[in-house]
């Protein structure tokens, strides 16, 4: 029986330092029917030339999309995804690395059952400068399998994005939602599972995610402007899913509480107690009862209010 064609979806933008390793790690996978679709979003640092060099070196195995207008993350992803012809699509990034055996393991998992729509695996985080391992992530929750989109909404994701492989027929014809700027991959995964397909995990570490100052995830933890874009992307995703998939509204309501709680924590850590308090209260209204929430809210209060509260507690509960 002939192997199914697998497309490695590899969008890139100004990754000249990393793109050679990213492409090689995909091209050299031990899987014969493979195309590595590299979509450059109008890079200005020489990435385009590196992509074309690999396309010449690996004709047919590397498909280059270059000399196109700059569209931003979601626009470039959709342009790249539209060129993927494979039965399965394996997600990559221009600054990340595949490990040996990844494509074969995920294609085998999907091939075992036509109801299987999506799978992921553990990912190693590494420091870009030193190459040292910073940790291994399996995603927001424990390794497990399931069906449908409730868990991926509730947990704000199931797998690290770099680990995802999806059956092409489950992906919406429109691809990623163009209304979402930077977390559109999460909605793509929700849309792909909302029809009731099965998801699961492939045992093993099959990718390395590069940690460097220019990445969106790194910037979102440190820069308020990028953090706001990511937060708005999560909130917009939940609003759109509620409209498009009414049966998932309850999961969206609880997930919104988690997003709001995380936002409160971010503002608390970054010294903005007023904003933190507002988001903590909104999270509580969405049913979030995380351990320590009351204490966290108390730390955002003005000191005069805290002292009054402590006095009241002593009166109610004298020692």
pLDDT tens per residue, range 231-273: 999 999 999 999 999 999 999 999 999 999 999 999 999 999 9
pLDDT digits (tens, 9 = 90+) for 32-42: 999 999 999 99
Sign of CA dihedral 189, 190, 192, 196: positive
How sure is the predictor about 219, in pLDDT bands with cuts at 50, 70 and 90?
confident
Q: Find, among 112, 140, 121, the residue nearest to 198 by Cα.
A: 112
What are the CA-CA distances from residue 10 to residues 116, 212, 267, 312 (Å)?
Answer: 23, 18, 33, 59
Residue extents of the structural domains in the chain:
6-212, 245-314
pLDDT at 90: 98
Backbone φ and ψ for 94, nearest 5 degrees, come out as -70, -10
- State phi, psi for 14 to the nearest 5 degrees: 50, 50
Mean pLDDT of 134-157: 88
To the question of domain 6-212 being in CATH 3.40.50.170, the answer is no
Whether residue 267 contacts residue 276, with contact meaning beta carbons closer than 8 Å, is answered with yes
Q: 202 and 121 in contact (C-beta within 8 Å)? A: yes
Please name which of 102, 288, 164 lies closest in space to residue 297, comparing C-alpha atoms: 288
pLDDT per position as a tens digit, 110-138: 999 999 999 999 999 999 889 899 999 98
The helix or strand, by DSSP H or E, that contains position 64, with its residue range, turns out to be strand 62-65
Three-class SS state of 77: helix
- pLDDT number for residue 218: 83
Asked whether the predicted pLDDT for residue 311 surpasses 90, the reply is: no
Q: Given pLDDT bands bounded at 50, 70 and 90, which one contains residue 213?
A: confident
């Amino acid at each position: 029986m002939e192997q199914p064609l697998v497309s490695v979806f590899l969008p890139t933008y100004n990754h000249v330092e990393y793109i050679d390793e990213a492409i090689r790690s995909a091209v050299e996978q031990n899987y014969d029917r493979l195309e590595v679709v590299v979509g450059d979003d109008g890079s200005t640092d020489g990435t385009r030339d590196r992509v074309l060099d690999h396309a010449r070196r690996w004709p047919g195995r590397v498909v280059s999309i270059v000399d196109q207008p700059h569209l931003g993350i979601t626009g470039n992803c959709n342009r790249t995804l539209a060129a993927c012809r494979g039965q399965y699509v394996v997600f990559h990034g221009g600054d990340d690395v595949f490990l040996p055996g990844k494509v074969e393991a995920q294609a085998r998992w999907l091939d075992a059952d036509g109801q299987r729509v999506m799978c992921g695996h553990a990912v190693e985080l590494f420091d870009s400068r030193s190459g040292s391992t910073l940790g291994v992530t399996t995603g927001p929750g424990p390794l497990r399998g399931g069906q449908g989109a409730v868990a991926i909404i509730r947990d704000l994701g199931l797998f690290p994005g770099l680990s995802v492989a999806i059956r092409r027929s489950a992906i919406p014809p429109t691809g990623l939602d163009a209304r979402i700027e930077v977390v559109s991959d999460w909605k793509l995964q929700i849309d792909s599972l909302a029809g009731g397909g099965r998801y699961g995990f492939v045992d093993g570490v099959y990718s390395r995610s590069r940690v460097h100052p220019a990445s969106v995830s790194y910037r979102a933890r440190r820069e308020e402007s990028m953090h706001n874009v990511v937060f708005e992307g999560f909130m917009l995703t939940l609003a759109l899913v509620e409209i498009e998939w009414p049966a998932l509204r309850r999961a969206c309501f609880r997930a919104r509480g988690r997003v709001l709680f995380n936002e409160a924590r971010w503002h608390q850590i970054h010294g903005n107690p007023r904003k933190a308090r507002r988001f903590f209260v909104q999270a509580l209204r969405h049913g979030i009862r995380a351990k320590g929430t009351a204490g966290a809210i108390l730390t955002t209060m003005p000191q005069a209010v805290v002292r009054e509260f402590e006095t009241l507690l002593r009166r109610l509960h004298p020692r």
